[in-house]
Structure 1
Amino acid sequence: MSRLNLYLRRWAPALLLLAAPLMLAADEPARWDTPGAGNPLLPGYFADPSIVRDGNRWYIFATIDPWGDDRLGLWTSENGRDWRFSTPNWPTKAAATSPTSGNSKVWAPSVVRAANGRWYMYVSVGSEVWVGSAASPAGPWRDANGGKPLIARDFAPAYHMIDAEAFVDDDGQGYLYWGSGLNWTNGHCFVVKLKPDMVTFDDAPRDVTPENYFEGPFMVKANGRYLLTYSDGNTTKDTYKVRYAIGATPFGPFHEAPNSPLLQTDAARDIISPGHHAVFRSQGRSYILYHRQALPWPQPGDSVLRQVAVDPLTIAADGTLTRVRPTHGSQVADFAAARDRGLSWTPAGDRAAAKAGDDNYATLWRGPGAIVADLGSVRRVQGSRVRPEFATRSYSYGVEASRDGKSWTPLLAPAEQQGSPLMLRHPTVARYLRLTVATPGAALWEWSIDGEKAQRR
């Protein structure tokens, strides 16, 4: 069966737990900074996402921005809305490198389940592709190719040997697609048939480059057609986009579809440079998961910071794709449950602090200083969940409580933590809580306060 149908068959029981689909909503946020916007999906700067589901859990593997890290980012969720950050044990820049890898970091993962039941990760380290395997997406992951790259940098020196993406066809046969350009000039796309071990090449790689191809291939099979989707343009500017080409076999030949591009910049709605995507299914519907520029755009200085978003993807009866209308979040409810926001609170004093409680991962509250949360009445509180700007950096937060907003009792002394969300335990009975940000230059996406009736995720 196709990769999309494989996802649907494996996950159907678990997907029944997700929220029921909504129609294209008229209530989509008019602006990116509207409270409650569901996109970005993840609280932080990540790119090149790969999404899978195993049992009742979603996994998103992604590049850590800016421009990669010594390891990958991994987000997990049971409901598609409340995500926890970690880093897989493999790959790391130290463990997966060769004399020809180059200085670039770890990026662009592709994770798939093979016909043999094991999971495989194809990941770029420097300018080469490595492969690892695990019994579960949760790991532990291990190198699967004897400590050497699967695709070396010198395979085709005129192009980047990155952005590998695996595809498992209806009959269980695996294929691997990869390739990117250099210096923002369009590249070439290569494909190879894989042996059942998902590591050994079954024949010589072929060049199957379609029109306007730059990087980020992702194969979708629909109604007997092979749809090679890919990115084009410059992710640092406003020209990055998703195109697609149609072929009759996994090797093509591929020709760009008449209605390509599939997904592109919508400057009027502050959606800039969407691309490097993955396609998946939930509750019988198809979705495209992709990165786009963090807002407001452009960022100060020369930083390139991207965030992950998700939107519905329509596959027509003839096996072609319908252009995607990127959103600020109304359609996230199709894929995911409502976020667990904890107790309701309003900022006391600093109105800008409302950004830390607006249920929107596009808006930040930036210190220094403190946020005072008014719970509206005296409530029993268990603790807090804080989602900092960078999940890979250490932050220090302190918490105080008050019944009247005047007399304060220390609950939690500032101490460094790393991750997202940061779990702060400070049981008390109070109307006001004061969250002090002790780390210079720190910012946070959201502060959720857990009470007796708030279910911690």
Structure 2
Amino acid sequence: MSKAVLLMVAAGLLAAADAPAPRWDTPGDGNPLLPGYFADPSIVRDGGKWYLYATIDPWGDDRLALWTSSNGRDWTFSTPAWPTKAAATSPTSGDSKVWAPSVVKAANGRWYMYVSVGSEVWVGSAPSPAGPWADANGGKPLIAKSFAPAYHMIDAEAFVDDDGTAYLYWGSGLNWTNGHCFVVKLKPDMVSFDGEPKDVTPANYFEGPFLVKAGSHYVLTYSDGKTTEDTYKVRYAIGDTPFGPFRERPDSPILSTDRGRDVISPGHHAIFRVGKQPYILYHRQSLPWPRAGDDATLRQIAVDPLTIRDDGTIARVTPSHGSGVTGFANRRTRGLPVTLRGDAVDAAHDAGRAGDDNYATLWRPAPGAEPLLVADLGKTRRLSEVRLRMEYASRAYDLVIDSSSDGLHWWPAAVRKGASGSPIVLPLNVSTRYLRLRVPAGAGVWEWQLF
């Protein structure tokens, strides 16, 4: 290699080392994957469709989130009829909400969900990931709080081995310390225990166990640290059987806070494969961070590629703002190009954020100002509908859309009281240049699309 080429290579390496980390607010970013605040994800694919289940933030809800997508980029929100806090609770469940679902397909062909309600684990079953879901254990928790009251009986994750044998892992600590991991073999009914549960806690374990198989090895991945701060992370340990013993690797953790990339406290993950390529699906703090007030802990879902070697070792993950997944669409469906304007609470939440195709950024109206967002299409166009991604998919919003040909004189185009979900679709039948969206005071809008 010539001296000139060596100098060029060296210069390129230096430039790469000095290059700034990708920003979290770049238009079109693929991470966060979902519009809104969700945690503890589980994902499966069936019949050409993706199903993603998650905790609704902040700190759970009386219901569970279910997102569905045909292309992995355009997701639709719903809440299954089961589990709910009312339908899956016991005298010892406590006040905590519905958390941390794990969904798997069993050897018997049915689907099973293991979910935390309070400090207990419940199990439900369904003929498909779409449901209908129903309790599978006679209206009582599968793992009661009394099983090990010194620990938190949450974060159950099922693993189905190559031979169809299923195992259930669960457990956390109290007051952010002393987490313990338990495992039990399940009988073919996916509900009954085949033997006694065992404590298989590896070093530095706190919660969120997820088992994968690599070659002949069983790899237990798990979370450590505190999700409300910047210490949450993903670690891993390797065992020779589903019961371990699990030995934490010296290159653990594999995913942790990266302030240079604006990734704070990634953890409580799921691992899935598309073909032979594994991916890690996880939550991390929403941005900007930290927040103040009751909603201080608001998390969002992200996905990144994972490397798992046959010896069970896992390469460190570089968290991103938009890693592609094989089989996912390259980008989300986009509406007509528009220019947005409206008074905003600050520059980080300006009107353009509602049209940047990035679920890390949103528009929020300024306090005291009319909560209006105006879209200018540049010329008169025929519109059939608008789609809204409001800040909280599970909350209800009163929405009004007005139309104008000159931006001065307005007339009603659509009204929806108590609208919820994501996207919220409002049919239109207008030819216009301008639309004006009115939202409740303080309401945030991830994206406003016109079609």
1:369 partner amino acid: P
CA–CA distance in 2 between the matches of 1:324 and 1:284? 17
CA–CA distance in 2 between the matches of 1:109 and 1:345? 38
CA–CA distance in 1 between the matches of 2:341 and 2:144? 57
CA–CA distance in 1 between the matches of 2:275 and 2:198? 35
1:237 partner amino acid: E
1:373 and 2:375 are equivalent in the alignment: yes
The superposition leaves residues 112-148 of structure 1 with CA deviations (integer Å, 9 ceiling, x where unpaired) of 0000000000000110000000001111111111111
CA–CA distance in 1 between the matches of 2:334 and 2:279? 25
1:158-197 superposed matches below 5 A: 158-197=150-189
1:198 partner amino acid: M
Correspondence for 1:364: 362
Which stretch of structure 1 is more off in the superposition, 125-134 or 326-335?
326-335
Task: Tell me if the contact between 1:282 and 1:335 (Cα under 8 Å) persists in the aligned partners.
Answer: no
CA–CA distance in 2 between the matches of 1:283 and 1:270? 30
* Secondary structure in 2 matching 1:366: coil
1:447 and 2:448 are equivalent in the alignment: yes
Task: Tell me if the contact between 2:55 and 2:61 (Cα under 8 Å) persists in the aligned partners.
Answer: yes
1:10-409 superposed matches below 5 A: 30-302=22-294, 303-331=296-324, 335-348=328-341, 352-367=350-365, 368-409=370-411
1:298 partner amino acid: P
2:215 partner amino acid: N
Task: Tell me if the contact between 2:35 and 2:389 (Cα under 8 Å) persists in the aligned partners.
Answer: yes
1:93 partner amino acid: K
Task: Tell me if the contact between 2:238 and 2:312 (Cα under 8 Å) persists in the aligned partners.
Answer: no
The superposition leaves residues 378-417 of structure 1 with CA deviations (integer Å, 9 ceiling, x where unpaired) of 2111110001101111111111222332332321135221
CA–CA distance in 2 between the matches of 1:130 and 1:218? 17
* Secondary structure in 2 matching 1:355: helix
1:218 partner amino acid: F
The alpha-carbon deviation at position 317 of structure 1 amounts to 4.1
CA–CA distance in 1 between the matches of 2:130 and 2:396? 23
* Secondary structure in 2 matching 1:130: strand
CA–CA distance in 2 between the matches of 1:72 and 1:82? 19
The alpha-carbon deviation at position 253 of structure 1 amounts to 0.5
Unaligned 5+ residue runs, structure 1? 1-26, 451-457
1:417 and 2:419 are equivalent in the alignment: yes
Pairwise CA RMSD: 1.6
Task: Tell me if the contact between 2:371 and 2:442 (Cα under 8 Å) persists in the aligned partners.
Answer: no
Task: Tell me if the contact between 2:223 and 2:267 (Cα under 8 Å) persists in the aligned partners.
Answer: yes
* Secondary structure in 2 matching 1:300: coil
CA–CA distance in 1 between the matches of 2:221 and 2:342? 49
Task: Tell me if the contact between 2:102 and 2:156 (Cα under 8 Å) persists in the aligned partners.
Answer: yes
Task: Tell me if the contact between 2:371 and 2:441 (Cα under 8 Å) persists in the aligned partners.
Answer: no
CA–CA distance in 2 between the matches of 1:30 and 1:423? 32
CA–CA distance in 1 between the matches of 2:301 and 2:57? 11
Which stretch of structure 1 is more off in the superposition, 275-284 or 342-351?
342-351
The alpha-carbon deviation at position 162 of structure 1 amounts to 0.5
CA–CA distance in 2 between the matches of 1:323 and 1:55? 32
The superposition leaves residues 5-24 of structure 1 with CA deviations (integer Å, 9 ceiling, x where unpaired) of xxxxxxxxxxxxxxxxxxxx
The alpha-carbon deviation at position 282 of structure 1 amounts to 2.0
Which stretch of structure 1 is more off in the superposition, 408-417 or 381-390?
408-417
CA–CA distance in 1 between the matches of 2:309 and 2:434? 53
* Secondary structure in 2 matching 1:290: strand
Task: Tell me if the contact between 2:45 and 2:51 (Cα under 8 Å) persists in the aligned partners.
Answer: yes
Decide which structure has the larger Cα Rg and report it: 2
The verdict on how the C-alpha distance between 1:428 and 1:156 changes in structure 2, with shifts beyond 3 A counting, is same
The verdict on how the C-alpha distance between 1:378 and 1:182 changes in structure 2, with shifts beyond 3 A counting, is same
Which stretch of structure 1 is more off in the superposition, 45-54 or 295-304?
295-304
* Secondary structure in 2 matching 1:36: coil
CA–CA distance in 1 between the matches of 2:444 and 2:81? 27
The superposition leaves residues 227-269 of structure 1 with CA deviations (integer Å, 9 ceiling, x where unpaired) of 0000000000000000000001000000101211010000121
Q: TM-score, normalised by structure 1?
A: 0.90
CA–CA distance in 2 between the matches of 1:130 and 1:314? 32
Task: Tell me if the contact between 2:30 and 2:331 (Cα under 8 Å) persists in the aligned partners.
Answer: no
* Secondary structure in 1 matching 2:431: strand
* Secondary structure in 2 matching 1:268: helix
The verdict on how the C-alpha distance between 1:28 and 1:252 changes in structure 2, with shifts beyond 3 A counting, is farther
The verdict on how the C-alpha distance between 1:28 and 1:203 changes in structure 2, with shifts beyond 3 A counting, is farther
The verdict on how the C-alpha distance between 1:393 and 1:126 changes in structure 2, with shifts beyond 3 A counting, is same
CA–CA distance in 2 between the matches of 1:343 and 1:283? 35
The alpha-carbon deviation at position 371 of structure 1 amounts to 1.2
CA–CA distance in 1 between the matches of 2:314 and 2:327? 19
CA–CA distance in 1 between the matches of 2:336 and 2:143? 50
1:276 partner amino acid: H
- Structure 2 counterpart of 1:434, from 427, 433, 436: 436
1:448 partner amino acid: Q
The verdict on how the C-alpha distance between 1:429 and 1:267 changes in structure 2, with shifts beyond 3 A counting, is same
The verdict on how the C-alpha distance between 1:377 and 1:161 changes in structure 2, with shifts beyond 3 A counting, is same
* Secondary structure in 2 matching 1:154: helix
Which stretch of structure 1 is more off in the superposition, 273-282 or 330-339?
330-339
Q: Which has the higher contact order (CA 8 A, sep 6+)?
A: 1
CA–CA distance in 2 between the matches of 1:231 and 1:255? 15
* Secondary structure in 1 matching 2:172: coil
